[in-house]
Amino acid sequence: MKWHKPSVLALFAFLAVAPAFAAMPAHPALRVTTLDGKTWNLAAQRGHWVIVNFWATWCVPCIKEMPAISAFVSSHPDVRAIGLAYDDSPVAQIRAFVGKHPVSYPVAQVMLDKSPKDFDPPRGLPTTYLIAPDGTVARRFLGPIDGKVLAAAIKTAK
């Protein structure tokens, strides 16, 4: 087999700079400070379904899905959510954005270079994790979701 030196070098260069994605733990931890200064802890949500939604102020599909997630959480007492603004914008700008696009669940900012350690950095936005009542990841979604998708995912995971 003849190796093409440029191709091999390109592969090694890619592998050297590509982000490493470790397997998520069976029960991921998440502890963040919300925009209103309160501590939000995923472990405290055990017994409930939890939606962990990564979004950004500049992401049009994220903005479109926020009302659907908010309505789903409001109409399902066994579901909680946390919005993670995956955005390096100043916190005042994110607060103003949430003021214009209110949701029924808490929101925290996650800096691009400090993704929560038990969650892979999003490869695209929105990225949403559905956490089962036992604290395990039931489903991961890349792209916008709505109430129908969430209801089906919960039904399938039960």
Taking the model in full, what pTM does it have? Answer: 0.86
- Beta carbons of 61 and 125 less than 8 angstroms apart: yes
- Within 8 A by CB and 6+ apart from 123, the residues are 142
**CATH code for the domain of 87:** 3.40.30.10
Give the three-state DSSP class for 20: coil
* 46 contacts: CB under 8 Å, gap ≥ 6: 133, 134, 135
Cα angle 56, 60, 66 (rounded to 5 degrees) comes to: 70
**Low-confidence stretches of the chain (pLDDT beneath 50):** 1, 3-21
Print the domain residue range for 72.
5-157
pLDDT in tens, 35-62: 999 999 999 999 999 999 999 999 999 9
Q: How many domains does the chain have?
A: 1
